[in-house]
Structure 1
């Protein structure tokens, strides 16, 4: 999202006559900040000016003074920092919304910086002819072929992928053609901004898992059929919808704006391997497993302790298997009966210790769950964790158990070893998660092979050998 720095006039709902001059700034690191010449206030029923300190203002309305026109703006969930300074959690540029009931929309379009590489569809082709008969000239032909729009249903509406384009000409000098993909959400019922942000964030999370890096939000536009576009004179254009631009701190803000442009060749899981149906399934299922997704995405966080990263990934793998497979050694009723019988042999003062010890005894262990996930990938698991899956499971379990015991005698692990082990867990868990939303099984072998080629496969095997070296077989004494 682009930075913003503009002067304007701001007021609380229904208090436009005591509007305050100020300056609104926005960037993806700090969010929206409004500096005011005076505090925001209200006129009470007895015509007195009332100032409220602290807390939040759910809605602050305003007008941005652009060079040649004024533009309405709404600031949402504004945190009071001082009498003349507020932090705006969300900024809506293009209209005024005075209440939560008004701040709802029918559709949204979302653009990401890495979407083009994830989709891998280039709509612009260029042909250059060489010079003819010694004439010093070259002929160039540029062609734009927009891919068709695709869409499908999800639980609360329709999700679509479309390609848009624009053209800018400077007479006698230049012509520029730009095309971009965007994801479009059309809801069955008008939806709040926070819910739209949640859906946009879920698409972002899926893209980040597939491209293997955090991306950036380029733009989010919101629409309603009863908010048409208007001319500068205020006249409405029939059959149109006003773009309401949303600005907020979204995504991984540690990614530099000038980060390396992602190539389609660098994407481990292209969009086509999931398709629009996979995206719809993700929108429906991901809200229920957000802690697992968040732990997975911490793999690519830039500022995180290596031990925390490893423990996050181990927790994500265990959580995914528990949430989607479950598993019990005994039926719950049989386990409770067995536990009561065993507890009956102990004195009362040991019952609490026994209950804590057996709290999770009926659930599969971390080793069982890691083995189950690896088995879901079949032979492709060997491209991610090495030829000896059992050795990988044993190593991950050993390191996880050691790191959860905060005593002086626990082993110390090198940060590189923890990183490579965490990455192997990440690769296995990521593919198992994507299989659950529709990843094509026939693509699995190719994806795992590409991850092995471009990843840290050799370091994973070396790490396993260092931490859990194979034990020599016992020799019989003659």
Structure 2
């Protein structure tokens, strides 16, 4: 999303008579801020001990109509000369119209573009031909032809929702010194049942995560547009068109986004090779089910600064959460484990006493859950044979990454880790790849597609590091 500042007139939906002059500013990384000259007195006290009062504010600005949702006062100043100024944080800013006062933030459809979507899907590529009197001699050029084929809509239905890949295009230039064709691919999700905005934003985040995982670069939304069937604008006598609302919200990935498109050589899984729109549509359900997994996993891509120990803890938590959600969370049937625990506790109570038996019962409550090593081992099997390219012998890798997690968590001074710079970082990346492959399998990607990682320069470099680190730690973690 692009930053902007727009001047205009602002008023509370609850008090349309009090209109103040001011400006609204949007920063893609920090969000939206409203500054007005004067004060919306009906918002109540600014006492820091009281919770902020959220308000909906209308605006007519140089960029059109805005509805500012979830506004709360950040501060008020009274300057010499009688100039009053109040500043508000704005949770969400919608351009394109004013909501009714009782309007619920629920919508029928959303479209979203991403900065790395074009190099990932590679639709509508532009071609040009140069005519010249002599081959390869541009000094004798007689004509230049540009060809652009508008990509067709690709759609797939998943449950009651329809996900489609579309493209907007435009031309520009003065036709004398410059002419250009621009295209912007985007995903559109049409819901079978109207969705609350917070759930829609989770879907936007989910699609963002898929692009990030596939292109191996942090991805940010470039535009988010919302529709509702009961929101229309009259454009003539008897004619109406749907109102398209553009949503402005902050995104943490803006802090780390690339300044240009990811190069083809660095993209891990091109759109078509992982199944195109069908896989992207299935991913919608995967991202909903594994939201906590993605939340932990993608911190290493979206966070500007994290200690490597925090990165490691996050990806390990993501791996464990994925296993808990996807695989059996018990070693033997629950009834058998419960019966066995009761027998052991009963025997201890008779032999030692009630106090010890109660302690033992509490200690055994989670004894039937798989240990971390078991979980990681099952995930490596699910990811498929191509993960060996990254990890080397998986049993040794599992032993090391789980052992390091335990040492970092429990801080056993008697068993210090002989860490070299970068060790934990590269092991973090290897766990990231494991969870990524498992998540892609969840939306139906053929494991044979994962053979692509063998040709990735980044994966080859990671593999060399991990295959040096793991044997070294395996010796030090024995016992």
Asked if 1:398 corresponds to 2:403, the answer is: yes
User: Which deviates the most, 189-198 or 435-444?
Assistant: 189-198
- TM-aligned CA deviation for residue 171 of structure 1: 3.8
Q: Say which SS state the counterpart of residue 60 (structure 1) adopts.
A: strand
- TM-aligned CA deviation for residue 19 of structure 1: 0.9
Matched residue, 1:380: 386
Q: Distance in 1 between matches of 2:108 and 2:160?
A: 11
Instruction: Map residues 456-471 of structure 1 onto 2, 5 A cutoff.
Output: 456-469=462-475
Instruction: State whether residues 201 and 251 of structure 1, in contact with CA within 8 Å, keep that contact through their aligned partners in structure 2.
Output: no
- Match 2:99 to one of 87, 97, 100: 97
Return closer, same or farther for 1:375/1:55 CA change in 2, 3 Å cut-off.
same
Return closer, same or farther for 1:462/1:213 CA change in 2, 3 Å cut-off.
same
Instruction: Map residues 315-464 of structure 1 onto 2, 5 A cutoff.
Output: 315-344=317-346, 345=348, 346-351=352-357, 353-386=359-392, 388-412=393-417, 413-450=419-456, 453-464=459-470
Q: Distance in 2 between matches of 1:175 and 1:380?
A: 47
Matched residue, 1:476: none
Where structure 2 has 5 or more consecutive residues not aligned to the other structure, the ranges are 77-85
- Match 2:200 to one of 185, 190, 196: 196
- TM-aligned CA deviation for residue 284 of structure 1: 1.8
Asked if 1:212 corresponds to 2:216, the answer is: yes
- Match 1:183 to one of 184, 187, 192: 187
Q: Distance in 2 between matches of 1:188 and 1:58?
A: 30
- Match 1:59 to one of 41, 48, 56: 56
Return closer, same or farther for 1:355/1:9 CA change in 2, 3 Å cut-off.
farther
Asked if 1:10 corresponds to 2:16, the answer is: no
Return closer, same or farther for 1:379/1:289 CA change in 2, 3 Å cut-off.
closer
Q: Say which SS state the counterpart of residue 247 (structure 2) adopts.
A: strand
Q: Say which SS state the counterpart of residue 380 (structure 2) adopts.
A: helix
Instruction: Map residues 268-283 of structure 1 onto 2, 5 A cutoff.
Output: 268-272=268-272, 273-283=274-284
How far does the alpha carbon of each residue in 1:216-261 deviate from its partner, in whole angstroms, 9 at most, with x for none? 2111112234444566xxx4793532331111102513125x6242
Q: Distance in 2 between matches of 1:460 and 1:100?
A: 57
- Match 1:159 to one of 157, 163, 168: 163
Return closer, same or farther for 1:308/1:96 CA change in 2, 3 Å cut-off.
same
Instruction: Map residues 27-176 of structure 1 onto 2, 5 A cutoff.
Output: 27-42=27-42, 51-53=44-46, 55-66=52-63, 71-83=64-76, 84-99=86-101, 101-132=103-134, 136-176=140-180
How far does the alpha carbon of each residue in 1:158-197 deviate from its partner, in whole angstroms, 9 at most, with x for none? 1100122100131422111001211011122333332222
Number of residue-to-residue matches in the alignment: 456
Q: Say which SS state the counterpart of residue 314 (structure 1) adopts.
A: helix
Q: Distance in 2 between matches of 1:76 and 1:342?
A: 59
User: Which deviates the most, 84-93 or 244-253?
Assistant: 244-253
Q: Distance in 1 between matches of 2:142 and 2:106?
A: 53
Instruction: Map residues 246-285 of structure 1 onto 2, 5 A cutoff.
Output: 246-256=247-257, 259-272=259-272, 273-285=274-286
Instruction: State whether residues 5 and 25 of structure 2, in contact with CA within 8 Å, keep that contact through their aligned partners in structure 1.
Output: yes
Instruction: State whether residues 129 and 144 of structure 2, in contact with CA within 8 Å, keep that contact through their aligned partners in structure 1.
Output: yes
Instruction: State whether residues 12 and 55 of structure 2, in contact with CA within 8 Å, keep that contact through their aligned partners in structure 1.
Output: no
Matched residue, 1:245: 246
- TM-aligned CA deviation for residue 374 of structure 1: 1.5
Instruction: State whether residues 59 and 98 of structure 1, in contact with CA within 8 Å, keep that contact through their aligned partners in structure 2.
Output: no
Q: Say which SS state the counterpart of residue 370 (structure 1) adopts.
A: helix
TM-score in terms of structure 2 length: 0.88
RMSD: 2.5
Instruction: State whether residues 454 and 460 of structure 2, in contact with CA within 8 Å, keep that contact through their aligned partners in structure 1.
Output: no
- TM-aligned CA deviation for residue 384 of structure 1: 1.4
Return closer, same or farther for 1:284/1:451 CA change in 2, 3 Å cut-off.
farther
Q: Say which SS state the counterpart of residue 468 (structure 1) adopts.
A: helix
Instruction: State whether residues 5 and 26 of structure 1, in contact with CA within 8 Å, keep that contact through their aligned partners in structure 2.
Output: yes
Instruction: State whether residues 345 and 358 of structure 2, in contact with CA within 8 Å, keep that contact through their aligned partners in structure 1.
Output: no
Instruction: State whether residues 381 and 448 of structure 1, in contact with CA within 8 Å, keep that contact through their aligned partners in structure 2.
Output: no
Return closer, same or farther for 1:144/1:365 CA change in 2, 3 Å cut-off.
same
Where structure 1 has 5 or more consecutive residues not aligned to the other structure, the ranges are 43-49, 473-478
Q: Distance in 2 between matches of 1:432 and 1:448?
A: 17
Instruction: State whether residues 225 and 240 of structure 1, in contact with CA within 8 Å, keep that contact through their aligned partners in structure 2.
Output: no
Matched residue, 1:46: none
Instruction: State whether residues 318 and 369 of structure 1, in contact with CA within 8 Å, keep that contact through their aligned partners in structure 2.
Output: yes
Q: Say which SS state the counterpart of residue 19 (structure 1) adopts.
A: strand
Q: Distance in 2 between matches of 1:270 and 1:423?
A: 20
Q: Distance in 1 between matches of 2:366 and 2:34?
A: 51
Q: Distance in 1 between matches of 2:309 and 2:149?
A: 48
Q: Say which SS state the counterpart of residue 254 (structure 2) adopts.
A: coil
